[in-house]
Chains A and B, each alone.
Chain A
Amino acid sequence: MNAASSPVIALRAVGRSFAGNPPVDILRSVDLRVDRGEFVAIVGPSGSGKSTLLNILGLLDSPTTGRYLLDGIDTTTISHRRRARLRAARLGFVFQAFHLLPHLTVAENVSLGGLYLGLPARERARRADRLLDRVGLGHRRRARPRTLSGGERQRVAIARSLVAGPSVLLADEPTGNLDSVSADAVLSLFSELHAEGVTVAMITHDPGVAARAHRRVRIVDGQVLR
């Protein structure tokens, strides 16, 4: 779509501080660029500010200073409503805790990914079926999440994050709740998706997990190290 040089994510001198006495600076003048088709790992110890960074990248939190451009759109000046719409259309989330809804089937959970985009139910179901096949869980589409293993649940969550066709997939410690075999399967899936052209930004504290990405960004004390 866009030229390869146009970044999906561009943070310019982003800072985030929380009110207090004294105020706490979690992020300090972070510059970050993720280009289309990249698989980036953001690595840092706990307390380094990487969760705050992910919240900002996911438009769940706003920077105190600086600018954040998503697909070239300046997200720091737009309304809550438009930010919600950007989340629905351009961002896919994968969480450490999966966040599948227990009362819905696997297929229904996946189709939630298109709910707030306003896709018709039939189209959402069609996409969910296709993506469940893609992550290798087509045979479990009527199952409830609690009957799935951790690795399977995370693959369902990944399928959900792809329903809207996002510009970037944001993964927050996606293997944090998984055993090493399941973790490996999930990371392989990310690699495959990346090979198919999906942009992935993954946050982790685990250097072994980060090694699977093509580029690593280290964040320490709220600052990106080069």
Chain B
Amino acid sequence: MSRGRARPGSILGEAMAGISARPGRLALTMLGEALGLAALVATVGLASTASGQVSDHFDRASADRVTVQVEPSRAERGARLPRDAERLVQRLEGVEAAGTLTRLEVSDPVGTVRLLDPQAPPDPMLPVLAASPGLLDAVDARVAGRRYDAGHVARADPVALLGAGAARRLGVTELSHGPAIWIGDRALTVIGIIEEVDGRGELLDSVVLPETTAAQQFGWQGALSMQLDVAPQAAETIARQAPLAIAPQDPSVVNAAAPPSDAQLRDRVQGDVSSLLVLLGLVALIAGGVGIANIMLLSVMERIGEIGLRRALGATRGDLMTQFLAESALVGLLGGIVGTSLGFVTSMVVALSRDWTPRLDPLLLAAPVAGLVVGVLAGAFPAWRAGSLEPAEALRTL
């Protein structure tokens, strides 16, 4: 009937009795670890729930802009977009509007009056852009006054649009009398003010003029970039096709890029937030483990008399180490179960409050095991202390 040594089950029983002797302490001890695991589980759970929702939600509003640019090193050597680039890209499936845009090299400030007033602030240096009429469509520009059209372009009229910001700086508010601006000694009539654009925000701070005007007065020799407005979700494809469509003999002269879509941006931001939360959860988990180690060590010190007694009753060092390690592991496992449940509930509540379908990664069921592992690691040193106490000395103290 007697095996001559303790049954493993009975030592586990002693461990359970040991930790349940102080329920309050047990709860507080596992709290830290439980919170850490809850944060981890909720973060991972929400990430998997949200990923489906996010992509669904944001695909509709995804990128519909493509930017085409002459490769800068080639541009320096004089490469420009072909004159019919706009027409070439319009043949691509999904391109809804296209327009060319070039920043001109202008060293003169932009002013409204040709008057030397020493007290007036110096005229501002403003970017001067040459843009095709199509560009304003490609950026969905809202223009007060009027735009320039094919007639202005054909005649190379000295007309210009001002971005809203540029107009403010120049003090141009009223268009009815056809205000003039001067760039150096070149005069241009302002016919409209660009109030809003979707993309190419620099337009709002610039002077914008027809490309033919630019060719006559500023030495424009061809466009350097192009802006496309494309069908939803077509941006990536068109960005791949555009260089070939524009320059079939040498596509590398042209770069085309779809700006990161909102969804990608959102995902990236969310990824950053998630990894931060995961990190915080890990830190809390480690802190929880340290807490368990602390309390277990305290427990060993408090129970020196018990340890001595058990040795007298025939416990080996191994029996005592096993018992205290089991106690620590049980605390860790309990904390793991509580933390996992808390994390599940949290991600469930968040998902439901946003009308999301809760989706839980079955891998998360391993989280209590992580709690157990933390408990075992935390209990290693206290258990060793319990096993290494000299029984005669342990019995003397009470």
Interface residues of A (CB under 8 A from B): 51, 55, 58, 60-61, 80-81, 84-89, 91, 93, 95, 97, 99, 101-104, 108, 112-121, 123, 160, 164
Can you name 19 A-B pairs with beta carbons within 8 Å?
A55-B392, A61-B392, A84-B311, A87-B311, A88-B315, A89-B4, A89-B314, A91-B312, A99-B306, A101-B306, A112-B310, A116-B6, A116-B316, A117-B3, A117-B4, A117-B314, A118-B3, A118-B5, A119-B1
Q: How far is the CA of A164 from the CA of B7 in the complex (A)?
A: 15
CB within 8 A of A99: which of B1, B14, B21, B308? B308
Q: A80-B317, A81-B316 are in contact. Are A116 and B305 (CB under 8 A)?
A: no
Q: How far is the CA of A97 from the CA of B391 in the complex (A)?
A: 15
Give the number of chain B interface residues (Cβ < 8 Å): 33
Q: Which residues of B contact A102 (CB under 8 A)?
A: 21
Among B6, B308, B312, max chain A CB count under 10 A is at B312
B398 contacts chain A at the CB level, 8 A cutoff: yes
Grouping DSSP codes into helix (H, G, I), strand (E, B) and loop, the A interface class, with mixed when no group exceeds half, is helix
Q: Bits for B312-338, please: 1 = Cβ < 8 Å to A, else 0.
A: 111111010000000000000000000
Q: How far is the CA of A40 from the CA of B313 in the complex (A)?
A: 22
Do the beta carbons of B305 and A118 come within 8 Å of each other? no
Do the beta carbons of A115 and B21 come within 8 Å of each other? no
Q: How far is the CA of A123 from the CA of B306 in the complex (A)?
A: 23
Q: Which residues of B contact A108 (CB under 8 A)?
A: 17
Q: Which residues of A contact B2 (CB under 8 A)?
A: 89, 114, 117-119, 164
Do the beta carbons of B316 and A93 come within 8 Å of each other? no
Q: Which residues of A contact B245 (CB under 8 A)?
A: none
Q: A104-B17, A121-B13 are in contact. Are A116 and B309 (CB under 8 A)?
A: no
Q: Which residues of B contact A91 (CB under 8 A)?
A: 312
CB within 8 A of B314: which of A51, A88, A99, A120? A88
Do the beta carbons of B17 and A116 come within 8 Å of each other? no
Q: Which 9 pairs, one residue from A and one from B, show the smallest C-beta to C-beta distance?
A: A88-B314, A103-B21, A118-B3, A116-B314, A99-B309, A55-B392, A60-B392, A87-B314, A84-B316
CB within 8 A of A85: which of B4, B14, B21, B22? B4
A-B contact count (CB 8 A): 98
Q: Which residues of B contact A61 (CB under 8 A)?
A: 392
Q: How far is the CA of A88 from the CA of B2 in the complex (A)?
A: 11
> Which residue on chain A has the smallest CB distance to residue B19?
A103
Do the beta carbons of B313 and A80 come within 8 Å of each other? no
Do the beta carbons of B316 and A118 come within 8 Å of each other? no
Among B5, B313, B398, max chain A CB count under 10 A is at B313
Q: How far is the CA of A159 from the CA of B396 in the complex (A)?
A: 21
Q: Which residues of A contact B395 (CB under 8 A)?
A: 60, 95, 99
Q: Which residues of B contact A84 (CB under 8 A)?
A: 311, 314-316, 319
Do the beta carbons of B21 and A87 come within 8 Å of each other? no
> Which residue on chain A has the smallest CB distance to residue B18?
A103
B147-184: which residues lie under 8 A (CB-CB) from chain A?
none
Q: How far is the CA of A61 from the CA of B392 in the complex (A)?
A: 7
B353 contacts chain A at the CB level, 8 A cutoff: no
Do the beta carbons of B392 and A120 come within 8 Å of each other? no
CB within 8 A of B312: which of A60, A81, A118? A60
> Which residue on chain A has the smallest CB distance to residue B21?
A103
CB within 8 A of A93: which of B6, B313, B315? B313
> Which residue on chain A has the smallest CB distance to residue B9?
A121
Do the beta carbons of A118 and B7 come within 8 Å of each other? yes
Add 7 more A-B contacts to A84-B314, A95-B395 (CB < 8 A).
A84-B311, A103-B17, A115-B314, A116-B319, A117-B6, A118-B4, A118-B5
Q: How far is the CA of A104 from the CA of B306 in the complex (A)?
A: 12
Q: How far is the CA of A60 from the CA of B4 in the complex (A)?
A: 18
B119 contacts chain A at the CB level, 8 A cutoff: no
B249 contacts chain A at the CB level, 8 A cutoff: no
Q: A99-B398, A103-B17 are in contact. Are A123 and B309 (CB under 8 A)?
A: no
